[in-house]
Amino acid sequence: MFRAALRRLLSLDDPPERTALAFAIGTAIAFCPLLGLHTILAALIAIVWRLNKVAIFAGSYINNPWTVAPIVALSWGIGRLIVGSPAVELPEVTTRALTTPQFWQSMSAQWRQLVPFAVGACILSVTMSLISYPVMLHLLRLYRRKSAEEASQVVTRSVTERD
């Protein structure tokens, strides 16, 4: 499934720079602190800026049920380093815990922990989008160059076979 999604992303008709930009914006959305609003943000930005929806959603779905717990924990950790928030006992951060009302009630009681989370998530968001743009651009150009070479080889073979 991942290979098929990557192949579809790599073979989009948009210019590689535009596709990489859409993917990088999606990646920024994936790491932003607005948990639960990622899909809505991706859709709105794709519509307003007329970006490729496949590329922006591919980037935004880096944050999914299997990766959300490590991303949230890393965001809090980075935010605590920057903001210097005192370490307090946090509820266990797992994918299952994030879906329970008790987790969010516990988090709202510790409102000061949201500041480090937001700071850390914003830092991760910017950093990961800045990394993802050149990586995706390189992959797109490499894939398209390889596809063009294969297509020219097929044409060359078919021409030589006719002769």
pTM of the model: 0.76
Could you tell me what percent of the chain has a pLDDT over 90?
A: 42
pLDDT above 90 for 46? yes
pLDDT-derived band at 2 (thresholds 50, 70, 90) equals low
pLDDT-derived band at 133 (thresholds 50, 70, 90) equals very high
Q: Which residue has the higher pLDDT, 52 or 113?
A: 52
Domain boundaries, the chain: 2-162
User: How much is the pLDDT for 91?
Assistant: 60
Out of 75-84, 90-99, 132-141, pick the least confident: 90-99
User: How much is the pLDDT for 100?
Assistant: 80
Distant-in-sequence contacts of 40-47, Cβ < 8 A, 24+ apart: 46/22
pLDDT above 90 for 107? no
Mean of pLDDT over the chain: 84
pLDDT digit string (tens) for 55-72? Answer: 999 999 888 878 888 998
What's the first-to-final CA gap in the chain, in angstroms? 41
pLDDT-derived band at 75 (thresholds 50, 70, 90) equals very high
State the average pLDDT over residues 139-144. 90
pLDDT above 60 for 1? no
pLDDT digit string (tens) for 82-106? Answer: 987 655 565 666 777 777 887 777 7
